[in-house]
Structure 1
Amino acid sequence: MAENRDIAKSIIDAVGGQENILSAAHCATRLRIMVKDKEKIDNERVEEIEKVKGAFFNSGQFQIILGTGTVNKIYEEVTKLGINSSTKGEQAEEAAKSGSRFQRAIRTFGDVFVPIIPALVATGLFMGLRGLVMQEEILRLFGMTPGDISENFLLFTQILTDTAFIFLPALVAWSTFRVFGGSPIIGLVLGLMLVSPALPNAWGVAGGEVEPLMFMGFIPVVGYQGSVLPAFIAGIVGAKLEKQIRKRVPDAFDLIITPFLTLLIMIFLALFVIGPVFHMVEEYILAGTIAVLEWPFGISGLLIGGLNQIIVVSGVHHVFNMLEISLLESLGYNQYNAIVTCAVAAQGGAALAVGLKTKTKKLKALALPSSLSAFLGITEPAIFGVNLRYGKPFIMGLIGGGVGGFFASIFGLKATGMAITVIPGTLLYLNGQILLYLLVNIIAIATAFVLTWMFGFSDEMLKEQQQ
């Protein structure tokens, strides 16, 4: 087995040598290299290097899939060999200058919402655990009924499950200011202003218990608890406004004038213009999303489950983060997750079939760990390292995802959170749906596995591709 230092040297040589590398960074699974000349990269040579599970050029970076743990060790050796290191954020800034306007917009969208997801993942898990302990069957094991649960305990669980959504505009505005070059703390304060207790509570207004404040006789003003789009747009406008004000204010007065004017102008815009307009837009988007997810006969599950991993490959899947957040905030559950988890599981099933069927040791050593990674919710090693490389396994995985998504839609599965899938995703279905959740995942995996085994891969196909 090659040493990590030798692997690092091989990678550097295969991407055009040290003189072709601007910088290197890494994420959880991938080594990310910024190069001067993309044409000097020998992609096939890179993919033949030991421990490499796949490689592709995306978002202005050459990304080499190495897997969790391994990537940290290889990255350390790469930097020891004289390659400039950079943070993922610094590389993202450089990469943001490349690609079409649409690609840059999608990357920016992801940069805003991805940092918020861990808080929402934790909230979803709390919801799932509360759903589990509140089930009559579980309480009966301890000789209790729902009526025996104390009000203080219920209040404690509400703190765990409601806080992130009550203050969601603050999280969104903070992250948006950060991405668009404003002061994150000003974004945070602006977001908190949108959910100020002085404003009529959005959920109270929606339930008819509270009346909105009316300005100039026709502008309704409410709090924006749980709202996403108004805070996102206000964050963009606010960050740009802050930068313009800072350019025009003398340095001696910057600390006082810039935040004062930014917050003063933005709270008026947010409450009287941006909020009412984009809250209405958000409601239309949410209504359209729910309508699609409720298409009859499992059509939505079939389409979304079948197409999801194509969207992931294209890199525009982060646009759906906002929709999932809106579903959770509005409905208290997320039926999109159950469909997507089938798409993820199916790619793992296809990679598993390749790993078990092939007699090639290197491919077996690549495919089997990649399938496990997919079953833990990370499909990149399976997709880029195995399924897409050989073509048909990826297609069989898409079919498996569609079949699993069809049943997830038919069964009406509803997650209590977002962002985690397959095995970790079981924690989002402790609301009495865990057996059905396991069933749709097994269907997706089995469909992709059988189709790949029978029609999608053989060592003969592998030899033909290599000729």
Structure 2
Amino acid sequence: MSDNKNSRIVEELIAAIGGEDNISSVTHCATRLRFIVNDKEKIEKDQVENIDKVKGAFFNSGQYQVIFGTGTVNQMFEEAEKLGLNSMTKSEQSSKAAQSGSKFQRAIRTFGDVFVPIIPVLVATGLFMGVRGLLMQENILALFGMTPDDISQNFLLFTQVLTDTAFAFLPALVAWSAFRVFGGSPIIGLVLGLMLVSPALPNAYAVASQAAEPIMFFGLIPVVGYQGSVLPAFIAGFIGAKVERWVRKKTPDVLDLLVTPFVTLLVMITLSLFVIGPVFHSVEGLLLDAVVAVLGLPFGLSGIILGGLNQLIVVTGVHHVFNFLEIQLLEALGNNPYNAIVSCAVAAQGGATLAVALKTKSGKLKALAFPSSLSALLGITEPAIFGVNLRYFKPFLMGLVGGAVGGFLASIMELAGTGMAVTAIPGSLLYLNGQFFQYLFVNITAIAIAFVLTWFFGFTDKMLKEVKSPETK
């Protein structure tokens, strides 16, 4: 019975999008069906959003994205395939979608494509840092009759392997991903990135602490390793992929295996060490200084600005650029104050959606808003934003206010996580370094502010008549 219902939902969705002839391809991610359509004007957007189980729909990254939520989206994709829609892998569709949008949107999308595959290992590293911070706290050790001096050096070495490896070899990860995105051979990118952190070069951390000196070439160019660096590896990956493709075109097939990797690596490590590295490492330093300056604004201003605007930036789809900045903060400072602020912004949208769920008398809106608010509290705000808050607009604004208040408190209290990319409830694992209860306080405050404002000023069931809601068919 469930399959029949899902099949009917997908049939309604296809019709609302303009029929099979208007759908070029379909794929899915963790929460959404992603369509590439031939003609946007044929889409009946209100009709799409009123279909059962649909939590919102919007255009982003050249795709019409329909939110169903985790689990449900897999069932809907299976039904779409049964109905004969042309399916693609995410990478194939992203490549096709990349041809649309403004140059700025395409650049941000490409930037995100490079960094998104790296995020899971950085999330794991942040969680390892949080667990190590918890285990090293004196009050925790005291429960077992221990002190920090009782921790064995071997155990500390083991935890160091867990927490330091990803950042020590970060250029290799970035160069690998950049080659993959820009059409080169990922293995060549990986080796190029490893060359940037070769033990033969002075270690970047040792140079920064003045325990080692750069190698001076020609008496002018300082050459060091680029442990923990991002931008030089990104630029090297971008240029390197172009160089490899050019060399391959000029090389006879019989010599390709020998000539292409040899020339690509020779050219790129020379450029990377003598030009790209020194120049873009300086640029990277300036960007980091700017971010730190914003985060260091007095009176909690950074929290108000970033906490209040973060989810607005998410709506525009350019928030992936902040992945780079978070990586830089973690590498340079050893913690991430940005995470604490944006976590409040995420949690606040969940609070606003929860207020709508509890206040409305619409059974269908309740069924949409409750799971959407839970999703936001787990760190994924798209169902809450596009399915509920933006639809009625005022709840979204109240969520922004809650995020600003929570961000203000996080900034004043100088909260900083041990990792990135997880927020709200899962993000609490990044604050086991002695800031756990402060983290809970600022997030609960953000949720409460957004909830109360939405309850009293942001939503009434009268809006169901003013806005075509999921209750109207």
Whether the TM-score (by the shorter chain) exceeds 0.5 is: yes
Which residue number in structure 2 is paired with residue 209 of structure 1?
A: 211
Pairing partner for 2:41 from 39, 55, 63: 39
Aligned pairs (5 A) from 1:51-70: 51-70=53-72
Q: 1:296 aligns with which of 295, 298, 308?
A: 298
Residues in 2 aligned to 1:408 and 1:36: alpha-carbon distance in whole angstroms? 45
* Aligned position for 1:348: 350
| Offset at residue 34 of structure 1 (A) | 1.0
Is the CA contact 2:35–2:63 (under 8 Å) kept in the aligned structure 1? yes
CA distance in 2, matches of 1:272, 1:461: 61
**In the TM superposition, what are the counterparts of 1:382-393 in structure 2 within 5 Å?**
382-393=384-395
Equivalent pair of 2:307/2:407 in contact (CA under 8 Å): yes
Shift of 1:58: 1.6
Match of 2:10, as an amino acid? A
Q: Tell me by how many angstroms 1:143 deviates.
A: 0.3
Once the two structures are superposed, the pairs formed by residues 148-159 of structure 1 within 5 Å of their partners are 148-159=150-161
Give the aligned partner of residue 333 of structure 1. 335
How far the C-alpha of 1:21 sits from its partner, in A, is 0.9
Q: Which residue pairs with 1:187 in the alignment?
A: 189
Secondary structure in structure 2 of the residue aligned to 1:214: strand
**Structure-2 separation of matches of 1:185 and 1:113:** 17
Structure 1 counterpart of 2:261, one-letter code: P
Q: Provide the C-alpha distance between the structure 1 equivalents of 2:467 and 2:417, rounded to a whole number of angstroms.
A: 41
User: Which of 384, 389, 397 lines up with 2:399 in the alignment?
Assistant: 397
SS in 2 for 1:271: helix
The aligned amino acid for 1:132 is: L
CA distance in 2 between partners of 1:56 and 1:278 (Å): 36
Tell me how far apart the structure 2 counterparts of residues 54 and 414 of structure 1 sit (CA, whole Å).
33
Whether the 8 Å contact between 2:350 and 2:376 is mirrored in structure 1 is: yes
Report the residue type matching 1:465 in the other structure: V
Deviations for 1:207-237, whole angstroms, at most 9, x for unmatched residues?
Answer: 0110110000010000000000000011111
Partner of 2:362: 360
> Residue 372 of structure 2: which of 370, 373, 376 is its match?
370
Q: How many residues align?
A: 467
Which residue identity is paired with 1:400?
A: G
Match of residue 171 from structure 2: 169
Structure 2 matches for 1:120-135, cutoff 5 A?
Answer: 120-135=122-137
Matched, 1:411 2:428: no
Q: Match of 2:319, as an amino acid?
A: H
Residue in 2 that maps onto 1:313: 315
Counterpart-to-counterpart distance in 1, 2:174 and 2:278: 17
Matching residue of 1:147: 149
1:401-438 deviations in Å (ceiling 9; x for gaps): 00000000000001000000000001000000000000
Aligned partner letter, 1:282:
E
One-letter code aligned to 2:305: L
Q: CA deviation at 1:157?
A: 0.2
Counterparts of residues 50-89 of structure 1 (less than 5 Å): 50-89=52-91
Displacement of 1:193 in angstroms is 0.2
**Structure 1 runs, 4 residues or longer, greater than 2 Å off:** 464-467
- C-alpha separation in 1, matches of 2:269 and 2:62: 37
3-state SS in 2 of match to 1:171: helix
Question: Which one of the candidate residues 413, 432, 435 is aligned to 1:433?
Answer: 435
Q: Secondary structure at the residue paired with 2:379?
A: coil
Alpha-carbon distance in 1 for matches of 2:239, 2:411: 38
Question: 1:6 aligned to 2:18?
Answer: no
Distance between the aligned counterparts of 1:120 and 1:58, measured in 2? 26
C-alpha contact (below 8 Å) 2:391/2:467 kept by paired residues: no
Q: How far apart are 1:330 and its partner, in Å?
A: 0.7
Structure 2 residue aligned with 1:247, among 246, 249, 273?
A: 249
Partner residue in 2 for 1:462: 464
- Give yes or no for contact 2:202–2:214 (8 Å, CA) kept in 1: yes
Instruction: Give the match for residue 91 of structure 1.
Output: 93
What is the identity, as a one-letter code, of the residue corresponding to 1:321? N
Cα distance in 1, alignment partners of residues 252 and 306 from structure 2? 53
TM-score by length of 2: 0.98
CA distance in 2, matches of 1:250, 1:314: 46
CA-atom RMSD in angstroms:
0.9
Q: Is the counterpart of residue 257 in structure 1 residue 259 in structure 2?
A: yes
Residue 3 of structure 1 aligns to a residue whose secondary structure is helix
Q: After superposition, what is the alpha-carbon deviation per residue over 1:94-143, rounded to whole angstroms, capped at 9, x for unaligned? A: 11000110000000000000000000000000000000000000000000
Amino acid at match of 1:335: P
> Could you report, residue by residue, the CA deviation over 1:11-55 in whole angstroms, capped at 9, with x for unpaired residues?
111111111111110000000011111111111111111110001
Unmatched runs of 5 consecutive residues or more in structure 2: none
- Unaligned stretches of 5+ in structure 1? none
What SS does the corresponding residue of 2:24 show, helix, strand or coil?
Answer: strand
TM-score (norm 1): 0.99
Once the two structures are TM-superposed, the CA of residue 461 in structure 1 deviates from its matched residue by 2.4
Paired letter, 1:59:
S
Distance in 1 between residues matched to 2:43 and 2:459, nearest whole Å = 28
Q: For 1:113 and 1:226, how far apart are their aligned partners in 2?
A: 14
Q: In structure 2, what is the Cα distance between the partners aligned to 1:354 and 1:327?
A: 36
Aligned pairs for 1:265-280 within 5 A: 265-280=267-282
Q: CA contact under 8 A between 2:33 and 2:73: conserved in structure 1?
A: yes
CA distance in 1 between counterparts of 2:37 and 2:296 reads 46
Question: Does 1:19 pair with 2:21?
Answer: yes
AA in 2 matched with 1:16: G
Paired residue type of 1:221: V
Q: Percent identity?
A: 73
